[in-house]
Structure 1
Amino acid sequence: MKQLSLSGSLRGNVGKKDAAELRRQGKVPAVIYGGSEQVHIFLEENEAKKIVFTPEVYVLQIDVEGKVYKAILQDLQMHPVKDTVQHMDFLEVVDGKTVKINIPVVLEGQARGVLNGGRLSRLFRRLQVEAMESDLPDAININIAPLRIGQKIRVGDLKYPGVKFLDPESAVVVAVRVARGAVEDEEEEEEEGAEGAEGAEGAEGEKAAEGEKAEPAAEKSEE
């Protein structure tokens, strides 16, 4: 998984009042947990934006006054109106322990069913997985090119070495739904192939029939 470095500072005080003051100064309160101790820090707003407004997922190297913590973003709180970051939770990555994280889903190719008029339905943009940090993929890549109308890919169909998917196996990740005229288009493709074969057989039959009719005509001319 991709790595990204951030810089943070230790908080002098912990509490709602201190957090509110940090936000007024354009800073983002945060906590690093999951290791031997909780570490309360704050980030400059520009540092926080590096990982919030991006579709990428990173393993973070957070430098807190000279001490570096390896962590992943586990949760964040956004202001309901201003769309600014209010608080961030980082889970420390500990050697020998698995981590749970949401990984983005990337669809590759164009589904056959969509080319025939079907409608692509994407139900997950991220999937929750559990794995060792070294096994975490940057994204869950799914080839949808073979999908025909009515076909779907479920969580249980996805296989990544060392990665356990935590969403239900029966959950549909992506599907090609029926749209008006779509079924007819796919059926026509199959029917055209059948009609071509039937046409060839019909032509051969007609030629044979013409040959049969020609024989009596030849006998008549001999008389």
Structure 2
Amino acid sequence: MSGSLRANVGKKDAKALRKQGMVPCVLYGGKEQIQFAIPQLQMSKFVVTPEAATVKIDLGERQVEAVLHDLQLHPVTDAFLHADFLEIVPGKPVTISVPVVFLGSSEGVKAGGKLTRKMRKVKVRGLAEDLPQNIEINIEKLNIGDSVRVGDLRSDKLSFLDNENMTIVSVKMSRNVEETPAATTAAPAAAAAAPAAAKTDAKAPAKK
């Protein structure tokens, strides 16, 4: 993203920037705080990109790599009011929310179950150079009744900060399967045919 340094700061200046289609921003975490502004359109593209965890910001005189730390939205229009970015400093731990990506097709879904996605992002902490663009979770062996929780995730370089009991994804019996006798008998058979372990990107066991 391309940003422009702010000559003035304050509520009046921020309001004027918004009228011009700009988002007032602040970058901190480095040696000094930097006040700048980014076009609303660029911010929109970054926010809606599910794989985006870090971003490079061109401030003219310097380029920085950062993570979005906080974003304030208008309560009615959802327009961006203000954004806080945290500069990534090599060797310094960073806390960010990383998108979750599912790999494979669930055995439980093939048997008629319904895949329910509970979390789209997980909060992690680690060195800047170790931050992933996303967390991959293999759901191929998830059967009906299985789930993957935060506590199932494993990484040698990251700490997962969400409650370990929070469910990321689960497979439940769909209503159609429950109402069809033939389907309900097929579901346990499918569950018995495959191991009930859910693989994440670090081969974590699933919890039921």
Q: TM-score, normalised by structure 2?
A: 0.82
Match of 1:185 in 2: 186
- Amino acid paired to 1:31: V
Tell me how far apart the structure 2 counterparts of residues 55 and 189 of structure 1 sit (CA, whole Å).
33
Alignment partner of 1:132 is 2:132: no
Q: Which AA in structure 2 matches 1:142?
A: I
Deviation at 1:189, TM superposition (A): 5.6
RMSD between superposed Cα atoms in Å = 2.0
The residue type paired with residue 46 of structure 2 is I
SS of the residue aligned with 2:36?
strand
- 2:99 aligns with 104
The match for 1:141 is 136
- Aligned letter for 2:123? Q
Out of 15, 19, 32, the residue aligned to residue 20 of structure 1 is 15
Equivalent residue, structure 2, for 1:53: 48
Match of 1:172 among 163, 167, 173: 167
Q: Which residue of 1 aligns with 2:206?
A: none
Measured after TM superposition, the shift of residue 118 of structure 1 is: 1.7
- 1:1-223 aligned at under 5 Å gives the runs 6-179=1-174, 180=178, 181=180, 183-187=184-188
5+ residue gaps, structure 1, are 1-5, 192-223
Query: Aligned-pair distance for 1:80?
Result: 2.9
CA spacing shift, 1:116–1:81, aligned 2, 3 Å: same
Bigger proportion of residues as helix: 1
CA contact (8 A) 2:56 2:63 kept: yes
Letter in 1 for 2:66: A
Aligned-partner residue type, residue 154 of structure 2: K
| Matched residue SS, 1:161 | coil
Whole-angstrom distance in 2 between the partners of 1:145 and 1:189: 13
- Asked which structure has the greater CA Rg, the reply is 1
CA distance in 1, matches of 2:53, 2:146: 32
- The count of aligned residue pairs is 186
Mapped contact 1:135–1:161 kept (Cα < 8 A): no
CA distance in 2, matches of 1:69, 1:121: 37
Q: What percent of counterpart residues are identical? A: 45
**2:108 touches 2:191 (CA, 8 Å); kept in 1?**
no
Q: Which runs of 4+ in 1 moved over 4 A?
A: 188-191
Q: Offset of 1:188 from its aligned partner?
A: 5.1
Q: Which SS does the other structure have where 1:105 is aligned?
A: strand
For residues 10-52 of structure 1, the C-alpha deviation after alignment (integer angstroms, 9 at most, x for no partner) is: 2122111110011011111000011121111111233323312
Q: Residue 16 of structure 2 aligns to a residue in which SS? A: helix
Distance 1:190-1:22 versus aligned 2 partners, 3 A rule: closer
After superposition, give the CA deviation of every residue in 1:37-90 in whole Å (9 maximum; x if it has no partner).
111111123332331222121422222231222211111122233332211110
Call closer, same or farther: CA 1:118–1:34 in 2, change over 3 Å.
Answer: same
